Amino acid sequence: MDYNKLAELLFPNITKDPADYEKIYPERKLPAGAKVTRLGPSPTGFIHLGNLYGAFVDERLAHQSDGIFYLRIEDTDDKRQVEGAVEAIISSLEFFGVTFDEGASMEGDKGDYGPYSQSQRAEIYQTYVKQLVQRGEAYPCFCTEEELTAIREEQESLKENPGYYGKWAKHRDLSAAEIESRIQAGHSFVIRLRSKGTHDCAEEEIKTISVEDGIRGTLTMPENDQDVVLLKANGIPTYHFAHVVDDHLMRTTHVVRGAEWLPSLPIHVELFHALGWPLPVYCHTAQLMKMEDGNKRKLSKRKDPELSLDYYRSEGYHPKAVREYLLTILNSNYEEWRMENPDAPQEAFAFTVEKMSNSGTLFDLDKLNDISKDVLVKLPASELCEFLKAWAGAYQQPLVGLFEGREEYLMRILDLGREGDKPRKDFVFARQMFEFISYFYDDYFKIEDAYPENVSNEDAKIILSAYLEGYDHSDDQALWFDKIREIATANGYAAKPKDYKKNPELYKGHVGDVSTVVRIALMGRAMSPDLWEIQQILGEENTRERIKKSI
Ligand code: GLU
């Protein structure tokens, strides 16, 4: 068969050849050891934790080595595309501190290796497929859906491996005349790889390939024998072919992607060989798992809202906390490093793929929450204030008016109990933060807890009346508490909890019960930071007002 003629017949409009693209996209001029990484999301509208997890690895590898991290939009499957998805990907990753040096951006493509959306690179892919056809390494296949189904069913009934390979590859050896007549009749076709893999042989004769995975070490797998589709009937490539061409031409050195791609690695290895290119370093990250009823299972889009990145934004997780948590699950030595370097910036940690886990990575929301507390306690009130305002602007509009113009008030609230060497770690994420401080805002203040059981309603009124009468906003903390003690003893409550414990029959309760009554009147809650400090923030008028309302 004259393959050149076949290539012309299949691709009459392709006039460039691979050498042209090698010139357009030359080797990058980067310092020795610099890594070039990329994120290749499909714009399906769902951005998940796995994307961020992978992006983090990419970002660290590139930026720790003075390399390049770029964004490529893998939009070859138009059925799965969603309007606005690219913007959503970029803004979501940016929120979590992942920024790209090159590639697709809000303002269009940035960089010399574009276009960075696969849908705009059809001509490039076709040029390389044309070359494979010229070499007899790819061929057109006209099989219809029905024919492919029939092949699959027959394979099933004979218990043979499924797929399009060897003797099952019906159009592998069509004659030039057959191809021509089908094309003239307008039959649609895909282009398939003519795989060199061995098939139809005993198991032990199947050749294997070895690949050095950056995370997993040497991987040994059976070689590919499938005549995979390179170009679909619409001339757009499959993921397999597109990423190989792009990662080569964009001069990617490290391909970080999820473990779900491991089974197709042999295809990619064969494609790199067929095109005569060296393999990038593949780094297959572990799946994100969660514990459920004592078993580990994969995080699922349907069952686990926390898989979606939107979840963290709408709950108001601080990006620093999410990053800190991801680093702890990405590198097994991060936590130890953090203990030794409590105040160092995250970037100071030397991230390595070798320290990544290759079995399922456990994702634990409780752990994230704990880490978040540690991160937020270190942020100054001014930063927390800005963060809360931004979160409210995006997710809780009614709160914007509460915060706007009253930043001083908010900052005092946020700093409550955070001084000293044992600062309170009350804050986890914005939604919870507001819930926690909501009693400072009259519109949100409500009585949530009941008075202690041993305090009658009548006593509560007496306590509060006495408290109001003796209240002096300028009292210092010691004087203020002495007054509460007096109210306690005057009404049959022990001045000290330990007095009560010794002789419980002598008292109705102790001073703690008395202050709880005041606390509930002022905050609606039995538990809170320091009562005296809260009054100082609330102000005299509001303090008196709330006590009065409870009497
Ligand atoms: N487009 C692929 C995905 O969204 C990316 C895989 C890769 O990074 O190579 O899963």
Model confidence over 84-115: pLDDT tens digits?
888 888 999 999 999 999 999 999 999 999 99
Q: Give the three-state DSSP class for 36.
A: strand
Q: Where are the domains of the chain?
A: 3-123+235-285, 135-213, 381-444, 457-550
Structure-token pair, residue 545: 């007002």
The residue whose CA is least distant from atom 3 of ligand 1 is 41
pLDDT value, residue 181: 96
Does 105 contact ligand 1 (Cβ within 6 A)?
no
41 lines ligand 1 (CB under 6 A): yes
Handedness of CA 250, 255, 259, 263 (dihedral sign): positive
Q: How far is the CA of 189 from the centre of ligand 1 (A)?
A: 25
| Structure confidence at residue 45 (pLDDT) | 74
Say if ligand 1 is within 6 A of residue 48 CB.
Answer: no
Q: What was the pLDDT predicted at 205? A: 77
Alpha-carbon distances, residue 221 vs 148, 164, 208, 550 (angstroms): 26, 19, 5, 74
Q: Is 108 exposed, middle or buried (0-12, 13-18, 19+ CB in 10 A)?
A: exposed
Query: Could you tell me where the beta strands, DSSP code E, fall in 86-243?
Result: 102-103, 138-141, 190-193, 208-213, 217-222, 229-231
Q: Is the CB of 197 under 6 A from ligand 1?
A: no
Task: Give the domain 135-213 fold.
Answer: Glutamyl-tRNA Synthetase; domain 3 (3.90.800)
Q: Which amino acid, residue 438? A: S
pLDDT for the residue numbered 100: 95
Ligand 1 atom index nearest CA of 51 = 4
Distance 363 CA to ligand 1 centre (A): 21
> Given ligand 1 and candidates 39, 80, 243, which is best to mutate, with the most ligand atoms within 8 Å of its CB?
243
Question: Closest Cα partner for 231 from 162, 148, 128, 82?
Answer: 128
Report whether residue 240 contacts ligand 1, using a CB cutoff of 6 Å: no
Q: How far is the CA of 236 from the centre of ligand 1 (A)?
A: 16
Specify the ligand 1 atom closest to the Cα of 243.
9
Centre of ligand 1 to C-alpha 240, Å, is: 10
Q: What is the DSSP string of 299-328?
A: --TTT-GGGBHHHHHHHT--HHHHHHHHHH
The preferred substitution site among 261, 264, 282, 285 for testing ligand 1, maximizing ligand atoms within 8 Å of CB, is 261
Is 42 near ligand 1, meaning CB less than 6 Å away? Answer: yes
Which atom of ligand 1 is nearest to 54's Cα? 8
* Cβ 131 under 6 angstroms from ligand 1: no
Name the residue of 74, 236, 246 whose CB sits within 8 Å of the most ligand 1 atoms, as the mutation to test its pocket: 74
CA atoms of 259 and 263, how far apart (whole Å)? 8
- Residue 396 Cα to ligand 1 midpoint, Å, equals 34
pLDDT per residue as tens digits for the range 505-540: 999 999 999 999 999 999 999 999 999 999 999 999
CB atoms within 10 A of CB 481: 15
Q: Which of 116, 253, 257 to mutate to test the pocket of ligand 1 (most atoms within 8 A of CB)?
A: 257
Cα 37 to ligand 1 centroid, rounded to whole Å: 13
Using CA atoms, how far apart are residues 397 and 392, in angstroms rounded to an integer?
5
* Residue 268 in contact with ligand 1 by CB distance below 6 A: no
pLDDT, block means (10 residues), the chain with 551 residues: 95 96 97 97 85 93 97 86 84 92 95 96 98 98 97 95 94 95 96 90 81 96 96 95 98 96 97 98 92 90 89 96 94 94 94 86 93 96 98 97 96 94 95 97 96 95 97 97 96 95 95 97 94 97 96 90
Please work out whether the CB of residue 50 comes within 6 Å of at least one atom of ligand 1: no
Q: Would you name the residues annotated as active-site residues?
A: 301
Query: Which residues sit opposite 308 in a β-bridge?
Result: 48
User: How far is the centre of ligand 1, averaged over its atoms, from the C-alpha of 48 (Å)?
Assistant: 12
Q: Which atom of ligand 1 is nearest to the CA of 41?
A: 4
Q: Looking at ligand 1, which atom is closest to the CA of residue 247? A: 9
- Interval between CA 76 and ligand 1 midpoint (Å): 11
- Ligand 1 atom 5 nearest Cα: 40
CATH class of 3-123+235-285: alpha beta
CATH top-level class of 457-550: mainly alpha
